[in-house]
Amino acid sequence: MTKKKALFTFGAVFTILFCLELSILGWSNLHSVLSNLQDHHKPFPNQLTRLRINLEFIGATIVYILWLAQKQKENFPSFNKILSVCALFLVVPFLTYPRTFDIYQYLHYGLMGLAGVNPYLNSADSFSSSLSSFLAWSQSSTYGPVSQLIFMAAAAVVKVNLVAGIYFFKLLCLIFHAVNGFLVWTLLKNSAWRSKITIAYLVNPLLLTEHLLCAHIDVFVANALLLLLLFLQQRKYSLLVLMVWLGFLEKTLPIIWLPFVFSFLLLNRRWKDIGVFILTSISVILVVSLTALPTIEAWRSLLNPGVTDKTALSFHYLLSASLSYFPGMAIETKQNLLSLFTRLTTLGFAAFYGIALLKSYLKRRYSETNLISDIGWVTLVLILFATPWVMPWYASILLPIAAVNLTSPVLALAGLAFSLSSNLIYRGAGSGVSIFSILSTLTVLLPPIVVLVFGSRLRHLELMSRLMPEREPSLKS
């Protein structure tokens, strides 16, 4: 057996075992809720199951890294051939019944919309549906109006059958993930690494777990970002603003890209495109304000106020958990320290963002590659340093940039490292105040930090040099 076949075999075995275990937990959760049993939100039934699932995911991740670090380049003549090679790794997570309760939240908001109830003005627990017992969050929707339309489409199927509705939504996620892979393939048309990077994107453990298995809406946001990259490559600049707003109307994060797109158009003197930018932005705001988001409270719902005082998988969590080991310290003092730290990280990000935006205006030429690098850096810094509540799938938005922004290897590797570390200790981690939760959070944060600190010095390591090869500019048309 060749090394390549061995890696494929081990990767397939770990993936199947991991998905099988999670599917059993997912069906068990479904049964528990429908039977009105207690503790159906408990992450794992016991520590042995938790350990086994984590070892399976770690095994799959190690196999992925070993394959990624191989010297030889893959060479496939078509995207269809790549899909056939990746088929097992795509189909198995798709078939796995989701263990997360987020998908029930999505579909509940969809049922609210179908009933004529605005999910941005009404909390989830104010509306009774067949999914009410599954809700993990009682707040109003934090997802944009475009996502709400997708939720409503899947919710229409839920009215017929719950499981059918869940798999309809998962099918949409599978289709979008495959399309995203095709967009990566298209964007890398001039790259010798085209096939390998496309496969690496399609079978990335985080994407398989969070975009396909758990069916998080970040797969749709990744699609908007990849379309933005494609239109940038094709010099269809008038469509850039549309993609940013599309991403924002799916999930709030992409709004931070908007000033950089404007800067790019201004510095390249794309006056007609600037006119389109302004008209599109005004039109989107007006239409959304007259329909889905008619009040300030509705717009504020998109900022996820339910996690305002919560922390997870972040430096904020580490501080909060560490303070819990000082029982003599007043609760008010702990809250003040955490609040101060949050303000400092927010101000730090604002300063970083402002400097990055200012530097774009100081460049003699602000190119397409500069724009994508800036989008990547501000997104990475926001999630890694300035977001108190971080979930594993948040890092998935960095992977489209890591895949095609091949002229910034440190950014690409930091995004890849963050994606691989985010789910390394699978679920239930980053909450509570146990030593295990603190250590698991460190496993999330340290890999991207190491890449950022040591940067190009990592090229001297043989493994890192393979993961960070010298490659041609990715947005060259």
- Examine residue 316 and state whether it is found in any structural domain, yes or no: yes
pLDDT above 70 covers a percentage of the chain that reads 92
Ramachandran quadrant class, 126 (left: phi over 0; alpha: psi -120 to 50; beta: rest): alpha
Q: What is the pLDDT of residue 431?
A: 58
Mean local confidence (pLDDT), 392-406: 93
CA 130/CA 134 separation, integer angstroms: 9
The CA angle 223-266-280, to the nearest 5 degrees, is: 50
pLDDT in the model for residue 474: 47
Q: Is residue 312 classed as helix, strand or coil in its secondary structure?
A: strand
Q: What mean pLDDT is reported for the chain?
A: 91
Q: How far apart are CA 344 and CA 388, in angstroms?
A: 12
475 assigned to some structural domain? no
* pLDDT score recorded for residue 152: 99
Asked whether residue 477 is assigned to any structural domain, the reply reads no
What pLDDT, in 10s, does the model give residues 52-87?
Answer: 999 999 999 999 999 998 876 678 989 999 999 999
Please indicate, yes or no, if residue 416 is contained in any of the structural domains.
Answer: yes
Residue 4's pLDDT is: 84
CA distance 17 to 14: 5
Residue owning tokens 């999630």: 383
Spatial contact of 82 and 185, defined as CB atoms under 8 Å apart? yes
Residues in CB range of 146: below 8 A, 6 or more apart: 220, 246, 249, 250
Position of tokens 């239109």?
231
Express each pLDDT in 81-122 by its tens digit: 999 999 999 999 999 999 889 999 999 999 999 999 999 999
The model's pTM: 0.94
Taking alpha carbons only, the member of 42, 103, 68 closest to residue 419 is 68
CA dihedral 104, 389, 399, 80 (to 10 degrees): -10
Beta bridge partners of 312: 389
Q: What is the pLDDT of residue 409?
A: 87
Q: For residue 472, is it within any domain?
A: no
Say if 476 falls within a structural domain.
no
What total of structural domains would you count in the chain? 1
Mean pLDDT of all residues in 25-37: 85
pLDDT tens readout for residues 135-163: 989 999 999 999 999 999 999 999 999 99
Q: Which domain holds residue 115?
A: 3-467
CB 456 within 8 A of CB 467: no
What pLDDT digit, counting tens, does each position of 321-346 carry?
A: 999 889 889 999 999 999 999 999 99
User: Is residue 474 in a domain?
Assistant: no
CA separation for the pair 184, 396 (Å, rounded): 14
Q: Is 58 contained in some domain?
A: yes
C-alpha to C-alpha distance for 320 and 139, rounded to whole angstroms: 23
Nearest to 17 by CA among 96, 102, 101, 99: 96
- Per this entry, what is the length of the chain? 477
